[in-house]
């Protein structure tokens, strides 16, 4: 999967920024600035899975942040990534 420089999520344009360091995080969603940060130094598969995870943060924010806990988002992002990858849908 190509990591895009921007995405449209729920009618909003969200910038995707790959950074060298993220204080030990693989990624971070910042709703206030419509930005997703992804650590540049992690493996490509981790970048792809992290992007899905951070997209889920944006989607969850429309439900109220407590609607889907972080552990649920972790699980869903990994499962969704596996389905997309195993079915060659990440081209």
Report pLDDT for 1: 86
Confidence at residue 78, expressed as pLDDT on a 0 to 100 scale? 87
- CA atoms of 44 and 49, how far apart (whole Å): 9
Residue 54 DSSP one-character state:
H
- pLDDT classification of 84: cutoffs 50, 70, 90: confident
C-alpha closest to that of 84 among 51, 61, 57? 51
- Domain limits of the chain? 6-86
**17-73 confidence digits (pLDDT tens):** 998 888 889 999 999 999 999 999 999 999 999 999 999 888 887 766 566 777 888
Prediction pTM value: 0.84
Mean pLDDT rounded to a whole number for the chain: 87
């Amino acid at each position: 999967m190509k990591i895009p420089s921007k995405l449209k999520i729920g009618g909003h344009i969200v910038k995707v920024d790959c950074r060298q360091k993220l204080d030990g995080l693989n990624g971070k969603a910042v709703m206030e600035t419509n930005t997703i940060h992804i650590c540049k130094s992690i493996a490509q598969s981790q970048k792809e899975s992290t992007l899905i995870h951070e997209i889920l943060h944006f989607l969850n924010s429309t439900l109220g942040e407590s609607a889907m806990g972080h552990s649920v988002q972790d699980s869903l992002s990994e499962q969704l990534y596996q389905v997309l990858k195993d079915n060659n849908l990440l081209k």
